[in-house]
Structure 1
Amino acid sequence: MSDALPAPAAAPLDAASRAAAPLDASRAAAGAPSAPAVSVLGLGRMGSALAGAFLSAGRTTTVWNRTPDKADALVGRGAVRAASVADAVRGSAVVVVCVRDDEAVHELLDPVAPELAGRTLLNLTSGSPEQARENAAWAAGHGCAYVDGAVMTTPPGVGDPRSMILCSGSAAAFAEHRATIAALGDPVDLGEDAGLASLHDAGLLGLMWSVFAGWLHATALVGADGVPARAFTPLAIRWLAGVGGFMDTYAPQIDAGSYPGDDATVDIQLAAVQHLLEASRDRGVDTRLPELHRDLMTRTVASGHGRDSYGRVIEQFRAGA
C-alpha cells in the first residue's frame, strides 16, 4: 500500500487526463448504462492495482497520489489525474482509499470531509475492527456512506474474480456499488458492522500464516531425508482438501459448544504429535511448532476432555492460556 500523505498540489490535468474525463458522457450518449465513476487515493502497489482493475473494467477512474508521477502509467491507460485530494473526491461517486494506515486515511480525508457528503467511501486500508467502526461513525457524521474492505490477495491477484474482497458497512452502499467492487474480485458482504471486514481479514491472515508455517515445517522435515519440496507439496495440497472437511465437521460443534469424540479424539492426536516431535528432533528440525500443538492438546486432556474431538482445543485459545 502507498504511504500517500497530503502534499503540494500536482500539476493541472494533462491532455491524456482531459481526454479521459468525458467517458461517462460519451457512454450515456451512446445509450450505454451509466456506471459510477471511481476515484482512487493512494497509488502504492495495491492502490495502483486497484485503479488498474477499475480501468480494465471500463470505469471512469480518477487517481491521486502524494507523488504525482506514480500516476503516469495509469493516466497513459486513460485515468484522470487529480490535482488534489479534493479534486479526486469531487470527481466520483465512489472514493476508494488505500494508503499506509488509518492515520494516513484521516490526514487525507479530514481536510476534505465536507466534499464526501452524498458519496460512498470504500476504505481498503489495513486497520483494526475498532478503527473501521470509528471511521463508519465519522463518515456518517459527514453524510457519507461507508464500506470497509479487505483485499484478500496480493496486487497481481486484483481483478481476478477468484480473489475475495471482504466488505462490511452500509448495506445500501454495498448493494448500490457491488458491481463496482466486483471489478476488483468477488465481493463478500459480511454485514453492516463495519468492523467485520477487518476482523475477518486478521483471522484469515492468521490462518494463512499457520498453514504456511505448517507446510514449511513439514517440508523441512521430509526434506531432511531428501524429499524435494516440489515432490512433497502436491501431497500437502491434496491433504489440505481433507483438512477442510474436518473443519466443516468441527464448526457446528464449536457453535454448539459440544464436541463429540466420534472421530480422532484429542488424546489420540496427542499421542500422534509426539511422533512428529521425535522425527523433527532427530533431523535437527525446529520443534517449536509441534511443541505448540502438543501443549494445546496436553492442556485440553488435563482439563478432562481428552475423549472429545479436536474442535475442543478452541477453548484453549478462548482462555488466552
Structure 2
Amino acid sequence: MTTHKTPITLLGLGSMGRALAGAWLAAGHPVTVWNRSAGKAPEGATLAASAAEAVAANRLVVACLLDDASVEAVLDRTDLSGRDLINLTTNTPAEGRKRAEWAAGRGARFLDGGVMATPAMIATPAAFILYSGVAEVFDEHRDALAAVADPQFAGTDPGHAALLDVALLSAMSGLFGGLVHAFALTEGEVPPREFAPMLAGLMAALAQATTHGIAERLATGDHTTNVESSLAMQDVASGTLLRTAAERGVSTELIEPYLALMARRVAEGHGAEESSGLVGGLTPASR
C-alpha cells in the first residue's frame, strides 16, 4: 500500500533550506521550492518562478528565510488563504506573535519554529525543532515535520518556540565563548588535540549537574542551602583567571561580562549564593 506523503512548499534555499528540502525529498514528499536569488533546485524538487507560484502549489508552506522582515517582504503580496504557514526563520518571541496575527489576518494557520540543529544534523537523531502556535497544524503535519527533525510542540503561544530557541542559542554562545577563551589560553603550549578531550570531558560532566542544579534552585528560590561554590568564593578565584590571561597575553573580553556580574552580585550582598543567584542580576526586577 502506498502511503500519501504531504506535498510541501519551501521558501528559501540557503544551507538550512537545502538540507530541509533534501530530507523531505528523501522521505518521499513532493517539494516545490523558491529562492530569492536564481539557482538550481535540489534534485527532485520543483522550482517555482515566484513565491506566489510556490505558495499556490501546496497547502503546507514552510518559510526558511533570512529574518522576519524577509518573511513579510516575500509573502506581502501573496494569497495565503487556506494555507498552513510554518515559519522556520530565526526571530524573536514578539516577532513570532506578530507574524501569527499577520498570518491569521490573511487567512492562514500559523506555526512558528526554532531549528535546534545545524544543516548537517537535519534528518539525524540529534536534530529537533521547536514549534508553537496552532496546535491543529502541528498535529496534522507531525509526520511531515518528523522527516527532517524530531518535532516538539512548545505550546499555543506563537512566541514560545522563538523564546526557547534564543535561550538555547544564548547558552551555546556563552559556552562557545568559554571554549574559545580556553583554547586561546593554551595556544602554543598545549597541543589543541591534547587539550580537547580534557575540555570536552569536563564540559560534559558539568553540564547535566549544573543545569539541573540551577533549575532546581530557581524553582525553589533557595540559592544558599548546601552551596558548594559560593559567588564570593568564585569571585576571589576569578582573579586567578584574569591574572593568567594577562600572563599569557590573552584578551579577557569573552569572560569579563560574567565575572563582572558575579562581582556586582557579591558587592550587593549575595556572596553566599550559588551561581543560580546570578539569574536575579539579569532580570528586570533586579534593575
Normalising by structure 2, report the TM-score: 0.92
* 2:187 corresponding residue in structure 1: 223
Question: In structure 2, the residue corresponding to 1:146 is in which secondary structure?
Answer: strand
Gaps of 5+ in 2: none
Of the candidates 38, 43, 53, which is equivalent to residue 23 of structure 2?
53
For 1:157-172, list aligned pairs within 5 A.
157-172=121-136
1:38 CA drift (Å): 0.4
Moved more, 289-298 or 119-128: 289-298
Give the 5 Å matches for 1:1-321: 31-71=1-41, 74=42, 77-113=43-79, 116-224=80-188, 226-244=189-207, 245-262=209-226, 263-319=228-284
Contact 1:161–1:184 under 8 Å retained in 2: no
Distance 1:104 1:292, change over 3 A: closer
Structure 1 67/162 Cα, relative in aligned 2: closer, same or farther at 3 Å? same
Take 2:107 and 2:220, find their aligned partners in 1: how far apart are those partners?
A: 41
Query: Judging changes above 3 Å, is the alpha-carbon distance between structure 1 residues 232 and 261 closer, same or farther for their aligned structure 2 residues?
Result: farther
Q: Tell me the distance in 2 between the aligned counterparts of 1:157 and 1:213.
A: 22
- Further displaced range: 101-110 or 276-285: 101-110
Report the CA distance between 1:290 and its aligned residue: 3.9
1:277–1:290: 8 Å Cα contact kept in structure 2?
A: no
TM-score by length of 1: 0.83
Q: Could you tell me how far apart the structure 1 residues matched to 2:62 and 2:123 are?
A: 15
Instruction: State the alpha-carbon separation in 1 of the partners of residues 18 and 38 from structure 2.
Output: 12
| SS in structure 2 of the partner of residue 302 of structure 1 | helix
Q: How many Å separate the matches in 2 of 1:81 and 1:51?
A: 12
In the alignment of these two chains, the number of paired residues is 284
CA–CA distance in 2 between the matches of 1:43 and 1:97?
10
Deviation string 1:207-244 (CA, Å, 9 cap, x unpaired) is 111111101111111235x1111111111111112222
CA shift for structure 1 position 68: 4.2
> 2-side partners of 1:314 and 1:194: how far apart?
25
1:187 and 1:177 mapped to 2: Cα distance? 10
Between the aligned partners of 1:104 and 1:305, the Cα distance in structure 2 is 45
Answer with 1 or 2: which has the greater Rg: 1
